[in-house]
């Protein structure tokens, strides 16, 4: 397959993983009330698996797994911080505005999109850059 087609699949995987991370946020938080590690796995494993599967042709399988793990863990850390601030604000008795609820669901989407795009820029693909010879027009 052409390298540009593999890159498009990786970009589609980043977008799908961002949506998946947001969709799994509520089940992960619900499960995480009793067993936090299981709640984290509920969000992390499917997101990382999707990023690995869609990025393996662009990066290669090992590099795709490493990129997916880095993107997923970093996005989860950012999302966890926002969830923690939302929880603290709710427990303080001052109430949680709708903006905090929206931020809670937007954070995983933006984090996965931004970190995935950053990985596409920084991590080289498995395909070497091909130089196209320039034609002389005489």
Q: Could you read off the pLDDT of 14-28 as tens digits, one per residue?
A: 999 999 999 998 888
What residues contact 138, with CB distance under 8 A and at least 6 apart? Answer: none
Residue 136: pLDDT over 70: no
Band (pLDDT 50/70/90 cuts) for residue 137 is low
Q: For 50-107, how does the pLDDT look when each residue is reduced to its tens digit (9 = 90+)?
A: 999 999 999 999 999 999 999 999 998 998 888 888 878 778 877 767 887 788 889 9
- Distance between CA atoms of residues 46 and 40, nearest Å: 11
- Distance between CA atoms of residues 89 and 99, nearest Å: 12
- Distance between CA atoms of residues 74 and 86, nearest Å: 19
pTM: 0.82
Residue 3: pLDDT over 90: no
The tokens describing 52, both together, are 């690995």
* Buried b / exposed e along 15-26 (16+ C-beta atoms within 10 A): ebbbebbbbbbe
């Amino acid at each position: 397959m052409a390298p540009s087609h593999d890159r498009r699949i990786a970009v589609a995987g980043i977008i799908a993983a961002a949506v998946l991370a947001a969709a799994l946020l509520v089940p992960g938080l619900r499960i995480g009330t009793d067993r936090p590690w299981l709640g984290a796995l509920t969000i992390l494993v499917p997101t990382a698996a999707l990023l690995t599967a869609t990025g393996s042709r662009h990066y290669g399988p090992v590099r795709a797994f490493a990129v997916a793990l880095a993107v997923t863990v970093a996005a989860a850390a950012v999302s966890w911080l926002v969830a923690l601030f939302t929880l603290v604000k709710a427990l303080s008795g001052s109430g949680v505005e709708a903006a905090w609820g929206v931020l809670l669901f937007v954070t995983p989407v933006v984090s996965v999109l931004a970190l995935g795009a950053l990985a596409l820029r920084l991590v080289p693909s498995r395909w070497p850059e091909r130089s196209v010879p320039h034609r002389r027009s005489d």
